Amino acid sequence: MNQIKSDYLVIGSGIAGLSFALKVAEHGKVNIITKSELNNTTTILAQGGIAAVIAKDDDIEYHAKDTQIAGAGLCHSDAVEIMVKEAPQRINELIDYGVTFDAKDDGSFDLAREGGHSKYRILHVADETGKNIQEKLIERVREHPNIHIYEQHMVVELITDHHVLNNLQSAFNVCFGAYILDEKTGKVKTFHADYTLLATGGASRVYLYTTNPQIATGDGIAMAYRAGVRIANMEFIQFHPTALYNPGSEPFLISEACRGFGGILRNASGERFMESYDKRLELAPRDIVARAIDTECKLHGEHCVYLDMTHLPANKVRKHFPNITSHCKENLRIDITKEWIPVIPAAHYVCGGIMSNLNGQTSMHNLFAAGEVANTGVHGANRLASNSLLEALVFAHRAARRVIEKKRNTLNNVLIPDWDDTDVTNPQEWGMILNNRTELQTIMWDYVGIVRSTVQLNRALRRMSTLYEEIEDYYKRTKVSLELLELRNLSAVAYLIVRSALRRNESRGLHYMTDYPEKDDKYLKDTII
């Protein structure tokens, strides 16, 4: 038996996982699992910042209202209220961990404004907010004696009732931990815990073009779905309007804060085209800006549009956006203070995910979810910029408080078998894995992207079903590996997105259907699978 026990099992080392771990570690032993290095997360890439009501002329009601407007009628108002109300406390905790948000000369926070926000309320650390948060959280977890970190360990499946040998809890739908692949040895270990938190982040790698890092393959959503946990609102995928257009290279985000700072979107003819789409111009919600760019590119047969910052004070642009300035210089030889930046939309954020309540509890006992993997109800049909780091912090905190209150549960009598891979082989069909992954991502980009239709979605579903069956068949015959597990998870997530999209015969928020271009209040509810 190769079983590792702890009070708390935390899967994922981004803002949700690490902030949860630091809190529960005061009450028991914590194992943090991460499939890459501790700092290989989406969190580290966050540029713009984190929203909170700090300014004197701001109010939690305004923040809640902006969030609800973006969410197009589907936000859960109780979750939104909690998030905006608890934001200042969570920000103070980050400061206690050592995060140093930018301040003005008078000592007050240098708050930025982003699309959809009616006030200046974005706390940031230049354009590297996520990096600063990630680094400080890592420092704190590394020094905590109750926290054990397992890098290069990838969760294969959650352990649930049907794995349990003596079947004690079968009536309850319980999570007992997870089977986890040690990527260095190729062995699958059994991690047994009283409480498990899924903080595996998003799934935007299911699309060919994305702003997300390699790790964002929707593993948590896929494994929860396979375990029978409820998943909601997977049709709402946010496409960031302005990823750097630089074909053949890894994606790079041109932060919304650039538009908040005064950046102007222009088409190849130099027109400020947002004037024809929305009176809020470049600061309209992301779905509107992304669709406008998509339309402009299609109308004029162009691959990209441009973000113009050349009219803004050069020294201020360099000071606020050092990372973007140097990336454009090094990779495209563009001086953003003098030349326009080529940009295109790219898959950025999954608004839906594992349904979790106001305390992060999922529909499975002892299984919690926080961060991008979760659907708490705060984003509804569209996420407001800089609300996701905040949502992760607030609901990870509430999940931690909940499991601490619940104290230990009684899992000691449960007999869990070790992972059995005696009947499988290692055929090493890497070519097949790579081809299937690209095929899947291309189908999603072509048929399930910014603008959709029933015909396209059905076409995607047919192709996906064949792929799904092939991948499952291969999985059953093959020793697990990171590449195979990610492919399997991506195909499950793709399937969930398409099925959810097909259930919503209307256009709302991020879900735009050419054959149902209007909102229909018959669909004013979550799509639950």
Site residues (vs ligand FAD, CB under 6 A): 11-17, 33-36, 40-43, 45-50, 129-130, 154-155, 199-202, 211-212, 215-216, 219, 253, 348-349, 371-373, 386-389, 392
Q: Choose between 235 and 372: whose C-beta lies nearer to ligand FAD.
A: 372
The alpha carbons of the chain give a radius of gyration, in whole angstroms, of 22
Report how far residue 161's alpha carbon sits from residue 411's, in angstroms, rounded to the nearest whole number. Answer: 12
Structure tokens, 74: 């589907």
CB of 305 to ligand FAD, least distance (A): 19
CA 300 from centroid of its chain's CA atoms: 32
Q: Choose between 14 and 360: whose C-beta lies nearer to ligand FAD.
A: 14
Q: Choose between 45 and 501: whose C-beta lies nearer to ligand FAD.
A: 45
- 3-class secondary structure, 462: helix
Report how far residue 420's alpha carbon sits from residue 423's, in angstroms, rounded to the nearest whole number. Answer: 8
Q: Look up residue 451 and give its DSSP letter.
A: S
What angle, rounded to 10 degrees, do the helices at 77-97 and 60-70 form?
120
Q: Choose between 35 and 463: whose C-beta lies nearer to ligand FAD.
A: 35
Q: Choose between 220 and 463: whose C-beta lies nearer to ligand FAD.
A: 220
CB of 392 to ligand FAD, least distance (A): 5
Instruction: Annotate 243-275 with b (16+ C-beta within 10 A) or e (fewer).
Output: bbbbeeeebbbbbbbbbbbebbbbbbeeeebbe
CB-based contact 35:57 (threshold 8 Å): no
Structure tokens, 179: 């089977």
Report how far residue 449's alpha carbon sits from residue 430's, in angstroms, rounded to the nearest whole number. Answer: 27
CB of 194 to ligand FAD, least distance (A): 19
- Shortest CA distance to 283 belongs to which of 267, 268, 266, 262? 262
CB of 9 to ligand FAD, least distance (A): 11
CB of 299 to ligand FAD, least distance (A): 27
Q: Choose between 199 and 487: whose C-beta lies nearer to ligand FAD.
A: 199
Q: Choose between 235 and 273: whose C-beta lies nearer to ligand FAD.
A: 235
Q: What is the DSSP string of 290-338?
A: HHHHHHHHHHHT-S-EEEE-TTS-HHHHHHH-HHHHHHHHHHH---TTT
Instruction: Annotate 193-208 with b (16+ C-beta within 10 A) or e (fewer).
Output: bbbbbbbbbbbbbbbb
CB of 59 to ligand FAD, least distance (A): 20
Report how far residue 232's alpha carbon sits from residue 374's, in angstroms, rounded to the nearest whole number. Answer: 9
CB of 137 to ligand FAD, least distance (A): 10
Report how far residue 449's alpha carbon sits from residue 346's, in angstroms, rounded to the nearest whole number. Answer: 9
Report how far residue 427's alpha carbon sits from residue 479's, in angstroms, rounded to the nearest whole number. Answer: 8
CB of 168 to ligand FAD, least distance (A): 27
Catalytic residue among 259, 286, 291, 463: 286
- 3-class secondary structure, 243: strand
Sequence-distant (6+) residues with CB within 8 A of 259 are 114, 115, 242, 265, 282, 283, 307
Q: Is 286 a catalytic residue?
A: yes
Q: Choose between 375 and 386: whose C-beta lies nearer to ligand FAD.
A: 386
CB of 385 to ligand FAD, least distance (A): 7
Q: Choose between 18 and 464: whose C-beta lies nearer to ligand FAD.
A: 18
Report how far residue 141's alpha carbon sits from residue 199's, in angstroms, rounded to the nearest whole number. Answer: 15
> What is the sign of the dihedral through the CA atoms of 104, 106, 107 and 113?
negative
> What is the sign of the dihedral through the CA atoms of 48, 51, 54 and 57?
positive
What angle, rounded to 10 degrees, do the helices at 219-226 and 482-503 form?
70
Active site residues: 286
